[in-house]
C-alpha cells in the first residue's frame, strides 16, 4: 500500500513561494508503504547503530529483510558503533527513499 493511499494526512507548505513543496505526514503501518511518485521518501527514527532494534525501526528492518541490515552495515561508522549520530540523517544505497534519522531515545527494559 502506498503512503499516498492513506487518508487524513496533514500537509505543511515548506515555503510561501510558488511551486514550493510540502511536508506530508501520514499515519498507518509504515511497513506497508511504498514510494510511488506521490511520496518521495519515508523517514525512519533509527538508533545510532542503524542495525534495527525495537519499535518502528525494528519493524522496518524485519519487513525489509537482511538486505537492509547489510546496506546499513556498509554505512561508515563515525565513531565505534555509531553510523548515524543523533540529529543527523543517513541514506542507504539499497533503499534511497528510506531516510534514517538518528535519535537519542531511552528504551525501557
Asked whether 75 and 84 are in contact (CB, 8 A), the reply is: yes
Catalytic status, residue 29: no
Q: What is the rounded distance in angstroms from the CA atom of residue 11 to the CA atom of residue 78?
A: 34
Cell numbers found for residue 97: 527513499
pLDDT, position 100: 80
| Cα separation, 69 vs 21, whole angstroms | 31
pLDDT digits (tens, 9 = 90+) for 75-95: 999 999 999 999 899 988 777
What pTM, to 2 d.p., does this model score?
A: 0.67
Query: pLDDT higher for 29 or 76?
Result: 76
Element (H, E) at 7: none
Domains assigned to the chain: 1-29 (no CATH), 41-109 (3.40.220.10)
- Over range 41-48, report the average pLDDT: 84
Amino acid at each position: 500500500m502506498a503512503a499516498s493511499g492513506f487518508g487524513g494526512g496533514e500537509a505543511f507548505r515548506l515555503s510561501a513561494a510558488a511551486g514550493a513543496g510540502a511536508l506530508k505526514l501520514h499515519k498507518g503501518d509504515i511497513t506497508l508503504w511504498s514510494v510511488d511518485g506521490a511520496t518521495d521518501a519515508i523517514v525512519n527514527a533509527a538508533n545510532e547503530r542503524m542495525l534495527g532494534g525495537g519499535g518502528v525501526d525494528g519493524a522496518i528492518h524485519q519487513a525489509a529483510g537482511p538486505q537492509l541490515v547489510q546496506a546499513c552495515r556498509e554505512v561508515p561508522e563515525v565513531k565505534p558503533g555509531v553510523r548515524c549520530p543523533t540529529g543527523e540523517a543517513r541514506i542507504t544505497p539499497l533503499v534511497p527513499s528510506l531516510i534514517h534519522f538518528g535519535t537519542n531515545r531511552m528504551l525501557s527494559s
